[in-house]
Structure 1
Amino acid sequence: MTEALSPQEVGERLRIAREAAKVTQAAAAAALDVARTTVVAIEQGHRRAKLDELQRLASLYGVSLNALLRREAVQVDLKPRFRRMGEQDDGVDDAVALLTTLVQAELELEDLLGVQRSRNDPPERPLMPGDVVLQAEHDAAELRQWLGIGQAPIHDIVSLLELQLGIRVFVRRLPAKISGLYAYDEAAGPCILLNAAHPRERRAQTGGHELGHLISTRRAPDALYDGSPEASREERYANAFARAFLTPARAVMAMFRDVTAGSSQLTRRHVIVLAHGFGVAREAMVRRLEELDLTKAGTWDWFEHNGGITNEQARQVLGDAWSVDARKADAARPVSLRLGMLAREAWKKNLLSEGQLAGLLQLDRVEIRELIDAFEDEEVDDATSRPMF
């Protein structure tokens, strides 16, 4: 079974799986009842692993033997790319490991089910000399036209990224300071991890930021922190791209004209309606108005120094349309809609057990059971529905 791959290839795959599962070499050695130096030798390809050892290690790492030994199975390790960015703390290292695990899990499920992911990588636009903000405005408008969405607001950027562009998008709870991660792998394509603990509007901004990196610096990884300074042209471009993509200039100007018709000054009500219309944070909306010279510079600071714009005020203005986070239920899901469907199909076809799925997706058995039950409930609903024609 191991003849298809060399000992060096098997060893490298075992190392990637072990690190993704956060298992030490000592723990792996204990599971095999061998010395740690034996595990080192296996991972370096100096000693061929026996079949029973591979089975025990696969179980320990929460992966299938198929993923380890099939030559066609794609292996992904994103950690070295982020290490090249410079010194990282444990929070980012853990987030990178999680992103690597989730990408590998999706790839394995696709492989098991014989699914070919549809990719739709947008045109790459490397940074040119000159004003990166103007470049970002142009590139964001170009991408909107390429996607066929024109000037329309984007109320669900995760679905746009995942279903229209074929990006592997995952939403999991991360440390509050980490907004998101982006990486590009030649085999897996673009991959994004967003922080489920952040509000919907902030996740949208992070998604737009990481999309900006896909457009401009495709093969360079990105770790976005809360309040990260715009220390480079690349970061200034990504931030400007997110603003331009989520709140296109012409659409903002048109909605601003309609919402503020007859008013001589910008009010909280105007800001609340505009932010709701574009699905962005109220601060982001005002900053964009300032950038487009639709209001005076420093307007948001004035609001903040005079009581801010509260959720209660938003509720009063929007009524039934108001929600703290209308997409929070989706963000709380342990897997994306697409990954959840792949996992359910693998279980339904007896390709993976609940325990194997739990290890693969880094979830506990209760979460896996809830995931499967949710899809079973949806199938019952579908079976009882009646066709329209």
Structure 2
Amino acid sequence: MTIVNSIRVYREQAGLSQDQLGERLGVTRQTISTWEKGGRTPPVAQLTNIARALDIPIDLLLHTNTSEANTAASTGLMFRADQPSVLKSHLKEHLTQKASDYALIEELAGELPNLPEMRPLSGYNDHIVEEVAKDVRDWLGVGEITPLGDVLAHLEAKGLKVILHSLPNEISGFSAYTETFGASIIINETHPTERIFFTALHELGHLIFHRQEYKEAQPPTRKNDPREKAANHLAGAVLLSRDILSRELYPYRDRWIPEPLLADIKLRYGVSLRTTIYRAAQIGIISKKQCGQQIGVLNKKYGADREEPTLAKPEGLTRLERLIYRLLVNDELTASRAAEVLGTPLPEIRDILAKWMEEDSD
């Protein structure tokens, strides 16, 4: 069933003639007839009015054409990964579906997708990266010494799509975009919180510095690739600005940084112990030699992929969840569609919605 045919079906179910529906919408019977015959497709803004007039959620008009929309998206969504071999066709198809669903929810909720400003960078220039990191912190609405807190919430507040997905442990994440869908950052949900935050900002770095490289086929990243150095540097500099590091670590200049202090910084700024050490070396608080020694001590104590203390996962709803429940409360989305988009069992969606409606009535 196409979008235009569904208008006719739901109009007839509502017991309305073309004249009556046209009167409710402020258009002529001929316009309704044209829509239903496929001569012209109503704009999304008008679809909202049609759904309201027919007393149905708007996604019933849009979901009928989902497969066609996904086909278009699969040919347009441009990915970039440090290890392109992980982007198997089935994974790209699945994540394209997720991005497409997210974009539809945004559209229904009247929200706009977004892309960060491009700052193309060839090679690696630490001075440029530090300056861009300052601009990114300003863009995210934090000052030079304010902890970011929930990095994912900050990025989603700017209209970027953050999608948590289970990936092989060696893959931290990757990103994709189209001009229509905006940016999507896909992150390995099984990783520790501090690594998730770092990966999100690492992929933001690629979207800023290397967006011209996003395409269907790309060569694997070389060892010590300057693009990776730039993205890693940006992630660390956004999490820990030069001013933050100077304030926190200046008393330890050219001295061993105590692990309890590193742990305290981790809990306050959401950054790994290792990132703090790397950043201290980047801005000259400690030497590269000492950086290597301190990292070696941590690796011996915890192993290369672990450290303590453990950061709690971010609490609260994601932006996608907030948009979906807002649409559900306003009868602009079906519970079954919400369950499909969120990957949550339908009974659970209904239970959560009942709580929202109960609180709303109070």
Q: Please, what TM-score do these two structures have when normalized by structure 1? A: 0.64
User: Map of 1:57-96 to 2, 5 A cutoff?
Assistant: 66-69=62-65, 75-77=72-74, 81-82=78-79, 88-89=85-86, 92-96=88-92
User: Match for residue 194 of structure 2?
Assistant: 201
What residue in structure 2 maps to residue 107 of structure 1?
103
Aligned to 1:339: 320
Corresponding position of 1:60: none
**Alpha-carbon deviation of 1:131?**
4.2
- Contact 2:77/2:177 (8 A) holds in 1: no
Residue 252 (structure 2) pairs with residue 292 (structure 1): no
Query: Retained in 2: the 8 A contact 1:103–1:191?
Result: yes
Q: Return the offset for 1:382.
A: 6.6
Between the aligned partners of 2:276 and 2:81, the Cα distance in structure 1 is: 35
**Which one of the candidate residues 135, 140, 143 is aligned to 1:150?**
143
Inter-partner Cα distance in structure 1 for 2:226 and 2:142: 27
- Counterpart position of 1:266: 257
Contact residue 110 and residue 116 of structure 1 kept, 8 A: yes
1:48 match: none
- Specify every segment of 5 or more residues in structure 2 that has no aligned partner in the other structure, as ranges: 6-58
* Aligned: 1:97 with 2:78: no
In the superposition, relative to structure 1, how do residues 69 and 92 fare at CA in structure 2: closer, same or farther (>3 Å)? closer
Using the TM superposition, give the Cα deviation of residue 153 of structure 1 relative to its aligned residue in structure 2, in angstroms. Answer: 1.9
CA displacement, residues 211-251 of structure 1 (integer Å, 9 cap, x when unaligned):
1112112354499xxxx765533222211111111111122
Counterparts of 1:256 and 1:376, CA distance in 2? 50
Give the gaps of 5 or more residues in structure 1.
6-62, 316-321, 331-335, 385-389
Distance 1:3 1:342 in 2: 23
Higher relative contact order (CA 8 A, sep 6+): 2
RMSD: 3.9
2:38 paired residue number: none
Do 1:340 and 1:371's aligned partners in 2 also have CA atoms closer than 8 Å? no
Question: How far did residue 197 of structure 1 move?
Answer: 0.3
Whole-Å separation in 2 of the counterparts to 1:124 and 1:109:
26
How far apart are residue 268 of structure 1 and its match? Answer: 1.5
Residues 277 and 295, structure 2, Cα contact 8 Å, conserved in 1: no
Show the counterpart of 1:326. Answer: 312
Q: Please say which of residues 290-299 and 276-285 is displaced more in the overlay.
A: 290-299
In 2, the alpha carbon distance for the partners of 1:270 and 1:222 equals 43
Of 206, 212, 232, the match for 1:239: 232
User: Residue 153 of structure 2 aligns with which residue?
Assistant: 159
The structural deviation recorded for 1:119 is 4.5
AA at the equivalent of 2:184: C
Counterpart of 1:69, as a letter, is N
Kindly report structure 1 stretches of 4+ aligned residues shifted beyond 6 Å. 83-86
Sort the Cα spacing of 1:64 and 1:197 in 2 relative to 1 into closer, same or farther, 3 A.
farther
Distance 1:80 1:141, change over 3 A: closer
- Number of paired residues? 299
Does residue 132 of structure 1 match 2:110?
A: no
TM-score by length of 2: 0.68
Counterpart CA distance in 1 for 2:322 and 2:121 is 38
Map 1:275-314; keep pairs closer than 5 Å.
275-303=266-294, 305-306=296-297, 308=300
1:200 deviates by 0.6
Partner of 1:184: 177
Conservation of the 8 A alpha-carbon contact between 2:164 and 2:188: yes
